[in-house]
Amino acid sequence: MHTVVPTHCSTAEDRALREAATQELLESRARSTDDAERQRLLEEVVQLNLEIARGIAQRFRGRGVEDEDLEQVACLGLMKAVRGYRLDDGVPFIGYAVPTIRGEVKRYFRDCSWTVRIPRRLQELQGRIAAVLPRLEQELGREPTLDEIAAALGVGVGEVRQAEGARGCFTVLSLDRPAGRDDNELVLADVIAATEDPQLHRFEATEMLSPLIAGLEPRDREILELRFVENWKQADIGDKLGISQMQVSRLLTRILAGLRDQLQPAAA
């Protein structure tokens, strides 16, 4: 390939270039019958998309597993995605890779990071509790009670209490551990954020949607930008484009449904 393909992508255009280059490499790998060439192409795809694996691993840092181990597991998930991706599914590679890598990392936490084995249902319930807590705290303006958590998840209070009580079974890093090789005075407790960076939650959506959005018609991209980036009302968008508010609503429905359809197979 003569075009320089970015491996560190900060724009939708960069991600679209990376997706196109990934597809080209995967198509070459699918056509090849030479094992050495297929392995070389696999490694090229992995190198091209390493930023994605590292970004997902970053989301899970500070939960009792070494950063190097997390990144290695995420990279293994990326390799699994390369091997399992099917070109004829019509799903962008990124739409298949992200949930595959994320699933591999979660499996590692579930199966390999417990000091004392507890029932898998409690492990999974802990994940559900962690996912629902931010929403409940935002809605209630305070920390939710066990009863409120149980009601939100549709489980018994006893199960929530068991899951919360089992948290001590997870391997955790000492808060007295040095924060880094060059930080002789700082310890881990000094640098851990009180809450997870909300920007990290946007990583997967950005990575998965950017190539798809870059492939939209210019007007469709403009509508999405005005509605979800500039936060314009549908009526104002209609005035700018010379169409009715109802037409804007229908266009948005069509655009979002198209994006959802392209990603849906990966989530199935």
Arithmetic mean of pLDDT, 90-102? 85
Check: pTM over 0.85? Answer yes or no: no
Task: Kindly give the residue spans of alpha helices, DSSP state H, lying in the chain.
Answer: 12-31, 35-48, 50-59, 67-84, 93-112, 120-140, 146-153, 157-165, 188-191, 198-214, 218-224, 234-241, 245-267
Arithmetic mean of pLDDT, 166-191? 45
Domains 12-112 and 120-191 are alike in CATH topology: no
What's the confidence (pLDDT) of residue 37?
Answer: 92
Backbone angles phi, psi at 184, to 5 degrees: -75, -25
Residue 180 pLDDT > 50: no
Look at residues 124, 105, 121 and name the one whose alpha carbon lies nearest to residue 64: 105
Instruction: Tell me how far apart the alpha carbons of residues 179 and 170 are, in angstroms, rounded to a whole number.
Output: 20
Arithmetic mean of pLDDT, 206-220? 74
Report residue 55's pLDDT band, with 50, 70 and 90 as the boundaries.
Answer: confident
CATH class for domain 216-267?
mainly alpha
Question: Between 41 and 268, where is the model more confident?
Answer: 41
Give the whole-number percent of the chain exceeding pLDDT 90. Answer: 4
SS3 of 6-21: CCCCCCHHHHHHHHHH
The CA distances from residue 261 to 70, 81, 86, 116, 131, in Å, are: 31, 20, 16, 42, 25
Report residue 173's pLDDT band, with 50, 70 and 90 as the boundaries.
Answer: very low
What's the confidence (pLDDT) of residue 188?
Answer: 37
Question: Between 163 and 152, where is the model more confident?
Answer: 152
Backbone angles phi, psi at 193, to 5 degrees: -70, 150
CATH (residue range 120-191)? 1.10.10.10
- Average the pLDDT over each of 63-67, 121-125, 158-162, 264-268 and give the range with the smallest value: 264-268
What's the confidence (pLDDT) of residue 174?
Answer: 43
Alpha-carbon radius of gyration of the chain: 22
Instruction: Tell me how far apart the alpha carbons of residues 8 and 48 are, in angstroms, rounded to a whole number.
Output: 9
What's the confidence (pLDDT) of residue 181?
Answer: 42
What's the confidence (pLDDT) of residue 28?
Answer: 92
- Average the pLDDT over each of 145-149, 204-208, 234-238, 263-267 and give the range with the smallest value: 263-267
Instruction: Tell me how far apart the alpha carbons of residues 32 and 41 are, in angstroms, rounded to a whole number.
Output: 10
| 201 contacts: CB under 8 Å, gap ≥ 6 | 59
* CATH number belonging to the domain at 12-112, selected among 3.30.70.3280, 3.30.930.10, 3.30.360.10, 1.20.120.1810: 1.20.120.1810
Report residue 115's pLDDT band, with 50, 70 and 90 as the boundaries.
Answer: low
Please compute, for residue 48, the number of CA atoms within 13 A of its CA located in the half-sphere on the CB side: 27
Residue 193 pLDDT > 80: no
Q: For the chain, which residues make up each domain, given as ranges? A: 12-112, 120-191, 216-267
- Average the pLDDT over each of 27-36, 96-105, 210-219, 248-257 and give the range with the smallest value: 210-219
The CA distances from residue 5 to 1, 21, 24, in Å, are: 9, 7, 12
Arithmetic mean of pLDDT, 152-169? 77
Arithmetic mean of pLDDT, 6-14? 72
Residue 117 pLDDT > 60: no
